[in-house]
Amino acid sequence: MITFLRIRNLATIEDLSLALEDGFTILTGETGAGKSIIIDSIRLILGDKASADLVRTGESEAVVEAVFRPGEVSSLPSDAPLADGELCLQRGVGRQGSGKAYLGGVLVPVKKLRDCAGGVVDIYGQHDHVFLLDLDNHLDFLDGFGRTLDLRRETARLAQELRARQREILSLEDLQRDAARRLDFLEFQIREIEAAALKPGEEDALLRERHLLKNAEKISVLVGGALDIAYEREDSLTSLLSRLRAMVDELAAFDPSFKDIRDSLEPADISLREAADLLRKYSERQAVSPEALETVEERLSLIEKLKRKYGRDLSDIQSAHRQLLEERDRLSRGRERREELDAEVDGLFSEYGESAGRLSELRKAAARDLEKLIVRELALLGMKKARLEVQVRTVPADRSRLDRLKDSGLDEVEFLISPNPGEEVRPLRKIASGGELSRVMLALKSIGRDQDAPRTLIFDEIDSGIGGKTADFIALKLKELAARHQVICITHLPQIASHADHHFRIEKRVEKSRTFTSVEKLDFEERVEEIARLISGRHVTPAALENAREMLVHNLGPRPMSANKPSP
């Protein structure tokens, strides 16, 4: 239930706080006083789309805060931040229509508000009975009532798998029409890549080899010159180093300390001779045939050609090769795959038929139970002679038209009604009046809510367009719902207002050219005056006051109710 609501800078509301209780709460007031703004604020907390038009003129942001006591609600997310059993939510709306949402003081996406609060609050507007005009809603309600949603989800899964297989079959048929020509082309491409016998890193190696071959003459001259300096000419480095070592040896005969210098020259001599040897060997194998460069160029040209056709580098070509092989295999085994698909479809279609058939049986059984409950509820709402039939029409599935399979199964569900004795039942959406639709809707909501954990039910002028005895019946039903749920209702009808446990009056005033909406909780005598206003209009008569008092005493007893007015 909602225990507290605060609204700031929303439309004509500057700053308004409501302390709410369980039971049956009524909101009344003149047309345009701002009653619907209260409901709009709750819709914002529930995560509905925000509009910048809601922000009060002259203010930068509208803010709504609410405290919920969700109780035992199975749909409440496990991570909902409860504090002492309460859930605190806040929603801001800026001038651009955007804003921030907070859950337990923590910034969250707006969807998180919907996930948490949406499971504990239902809002029914004056046009909510429009859902009865959509046959899909009839089916959804029946499945919810009959607790067949798990089986319906399984049926939907099978229908989706069947449609997926059908799409694959159609795609396979398209492929097979051009399969022979495509296979020839695939074989050519595969042979072209395989004949190249590409190796990892080959292109880089060929590029390096081409660079060497193109500069072979220059390299040969440089190698010869280096070899000449290092070894071959009379004043080569090796000759000079040999003479240096001889001189140091003679010096060592005079001073033994020169032996260290001689020893330090030994590695240099070895390294120089090794370098000279490597240069000599390189020179010996440097002989280059004209065909070598041509061979490398041809190989690189082949690789470039394959790259243009199959990808930017050798890894792309190899990847293309794998894809071509897979497509060839797929086309080659197209007939085999078609046989597999046909077998899979046969099995899934059989499963779908069994699941949808079982779903139909359960729906028909649930429909009979629902009819009895609705007729009982309608009788309590003043339609004592009404008959309602939940028609379940089963349309067999067509194996040749898998694309037409419904996720919901084989059934079409429609509510039929006969409001008066002696009349045949006819589609509810075609013959029911606004008052009848309102009562059927309330009966359905009552039945559905009886299966739920306690929650908050908000009715926004659900009584629009009705009066007289019908209003009395609806008031009693709302009072009955309030025994299990917190019920909050906006009404213009004294019959409904006089049954409430708590009554708030919403008023609009103008001060210094600014409009303000305020709310006041009424005590017994104030309720008498407000209900009298609902009876007679702006000019309250003594007869209306007496009538209002009688209604309150009859519905609530003679004990005056405590005001418990909130602080302004």
Contact (CB, 8 A) for 28 and 492: yes
Q: What is the pLDDT of residue 292?
A: 80
Full residue range of the structural domain in which residue 234 is found: 182-332
Q: What is the pLDDT of residue 263?
A: 82
Sign of CA dihedral 430, 436, 441, 443: negative
Residue 275 pLDDT level (bands cut at 50, 70, 90): confident
Q: What is the pLDDT of residue 357?
A: 95
Q: Are residues 187 and 326 in the same domain?
A: yes
Task: Please identify, among 296, 311, 332, the residue that sits at the C-terminal boundary of a domain.
Answer: 332
Q: Is residue 386 part of a domain?
A: no
Q: Are residues 326 and 189 in the same domain?
A: yes
* Token pair belonging to 268: 């240099």
Task: Please identify, among 332, 356, 372, the residue that sits at the C-terminal boundary of a domain.
Answer: 332
Q: What is the pLDDT of residue 371?
A: 94
Q: Are residues 85 and 187 in the same domain?
A: no
Q: Is residue 133 part of a domain?
A: no
Q: Are residues 188 and 305 in the same domain?
A: yes
Q: What is the pLDDT of residue 432?
A: 60
**Maximum distance among all Cα pairs of the chain, rounded to whole angstroms:** 147
Q: Are residues 210 and 84 in the same domain?
A: no
Question: Hey, what amino acid is at 394?
Answer: T
Element counts in the chain: helices (H) and strands (E)? 18, 15
Contact (CB, 8 A) for 415 and 132: yes
Q: What is the pLDDT of residue 123?
A: 79
Element (H or E) spanning 19, and its range?
strand 13-19
Residue 255 pLDDT level (bands cut at 50, 70, 90): confident
Q: Is residue 147 part of a domain?
A: no
Contact (CB, 8 A) for 499 and 555: yes
pLDDT tops 70 at residue 80: no
Contact (CB, 8 A) for 310 and 316: yes
Locate the DSSP E strands across 236-370: none
Q: Are residues 109 and 19 in the same domain?
A: yes
- CA-nearest of 537, 534, 531 to 554 is 531
Residue 562 pLDDT level (bands cut at 50, 70, 90): very low
Residue 564 pLDDT level (bands cut at 50, 70, 90): very low
Q: Is residue 116 part of a domain?
A: yes
Mean of the per-residue pLDDT values of the chain: 84
Contact (CB, 8 A) for 155 and 409: yes
**What would the pLDDT profile of 186-197 be if each residue is shown by its tens digit?**
999 999 999 999
- How far are the Cα atoms of 193, 202, 314 from residue 197, in angstroms, in the given order? 7, 10, 11
Residue 279: HSE in the Cβ half-sphere, 13 Å Cα cutoff = 20
The residue ranking higher by pLDDT, 323 or 454, is 323
What mean pLDDT is predicted for residues 178-205?
A: 88
What mean pLDDT is predicted for residues 319-328?
A: 90
* Token pair belonging to 280: 């000599």
Q: Are residues 101 and 29 in the same domain?
A: yes
Q: Is residue 196 part of a domain?
A: yes
Q: Is residue 504 part of a domain?
A: yes
The residue ranking higher by pLDDT, 209 or 348, is 348
Q: What is the pLDDT of residue 125?
A: 67
Q: Are residues 302 and 231 in the same domain?
A: yes
In the numeric block, the tokens 């349309």 are attached to 395
* Token pair belonging to 76: 């409440």
What mean pLDDT is predicted for residues 142-166?
A: 93
Residue 535 pLDDT level (bands cut at 50, 70, 90): very high
Provide the residue count of the chain: 568
The domain that holds 49 is classified in CATH as 3.40.50.300
Task: Please identify, among 332, 363, 385, the residue that sits at the C-terminal boundary of a domain.
Answer: 332
pLDDT tops 80 at residue 180: no
Q: What is the pLDDT of residue 453?
A: 60
Q: Distance between CA 159 and CA 157 in Å, rounded? A: 5
Contact (CB, 8 A) for 159 and 405: yes
* Token pair belonging to 79: 């991570």
Q: Is residue 490 part of a domain?
A: yes
Our count of domains for the chain comes to: 2
The residue ranking higher by pLDDT, 553 or 469, is 553
The residue ranking higher by pLDDT, 529 or 217, is 529
Q: Distance between CA 107 and CA 91 in Å, rounded? A: 10
What mean pLDDT is predicted for residues 328-351?
A: 87
Residue 567 pLDDT level (bands cut at 50, 70, 90): very low
Share of the chain above pLDDT 70, in %: 90
Other residues' Cβ atoms within 10 Å of the Cβ of residue 392: 21
The residue ranking higher by pLDDT, 295 or 441, is 295
Q: Which of 110-114, 154-158, 293-297 holds the top average pLDDT?
A: 154-158
Q: How far, rounded to the nearest angstrom, does the alpha carbon of residue 177 sit from its chain's CA centroid?
A: 40
pLDDT tops 50 at residue 568: no
Q: SS in 3 state form for 323-348?
A: HHHHHHHHHHCHHHHHHHHHHHHHHH
Q: What is the pLDDT of residue 471?
A: 83
Q: Is residue 36 part of a domain?
A: yes
| Main-chain phi, psi angles of 144, to 5 degrees | -65, -45
**What would the pLDDT profile of 92-106 be if each residue is shown by its tens digit?**
999 887 788 998 888
Q: Are residues 109 and 199 in the same domain?
A: no
Q: What is the pLDDT of residue 328?
A: 86
Residue 287 pLDDT level (bands cut at 50, 70, 90): low
Q: What is the pLDDT of residue 566?
A: 46
Q: Are residues 282 and 200 in the same domain?
A: yes
* Token pair belonging to 513: 């050219």
Other residues' Cβ atoms within 10 Å of the Cβ of residue 430: 9
pLDDT tops 90 at residue 439: no
